[in-house]
A and B are shown apart, each in its own frame.
Chain A
Amino acid sequence: MADFSLRKWLDGEQRLLDGERSAVLDTARPKPPQAVRRRQRHRGYLRRWRRFYAVLAVVTCLMLIVALAVTVLYLPRYGAVEDNPTLNGVVEYYLRRSAEETGAANFVAAVVFAYRAMDTFGEAVVIFAATAAVIYLLYITDRPVQLRPARAPKSPRNQILWQTVRLLFPYIAMYALYMICNGHTSPGGGFAGGAILGGGLILWDVALGEDRRETILSPERAVRAMVVCLGLYAVLKGVSFFAGANGMDWHLPTGAPGHILSGGLILPLNICVGVITAGCVITAYVLFTRAE
Chain B
Amino acid sequence: MEALLSMRYEITSVVLFSIGFMTLLLHPNLIKKIIGLNIMDTAVYLFLAASGYIDGGYAPVLRPGEDVVYINPLPSSLVLTGIVVSMSVTALLLALALRLYRKYNSLDLDVIVLLAKQGKE
Contacts and interface: CB of A to CB of B under 8 A. Distances in A.
Nearest to B104: A24
Interface in A228-244: none
Q: Report, as a range, how many residues of chain B touch the other chain.
A: 35 or more
A196 to B, nearest CB: 13
Interface in B40-92: 50-55, 57, 59-62, 64, 70, 72-77, 80-81, 83-85, 87-89, 91-92
Q: By CB atoms of chain A within 10 A, which of B64, B75, B76, B91 has the most?
A: B91
Interface in B16-31: 17-18, 21-22, 25-29
B111 to A, nearest CB: 6
A2 interface: no
Interface stretch (A59-67, A147-155, A205-213): A59-67
A270 interface: no
B74 A111 contact: yes
Contact of A111 (B28, B77, B98, B106): B77
Contacts of B14: 65, 68-69, 72
Interface in A19-33: 21, 24-25, 28
Contacts of A287: 95
Given A105-B62, A106-B61, A126-B88, A11 B10 contact: no
B25 A60 contact: yes
Interface of B: 3-4, 6-11, 14-15, 17-18, 21-22, 25-29, 32, 50-55, 57, 59-62, 64, 70, 72-77, 80-81, 83-85, 87-89, 91-92, 94-96, 98-99, 105-106, 108, 110-111, 114-115, 118
11 contacts: A28-B115, A57-B26, A68-B17, A77-B7, A79-B57, A110-B73, A111-B77, A129-B88, A138-B98, A195-B87, A280-B87
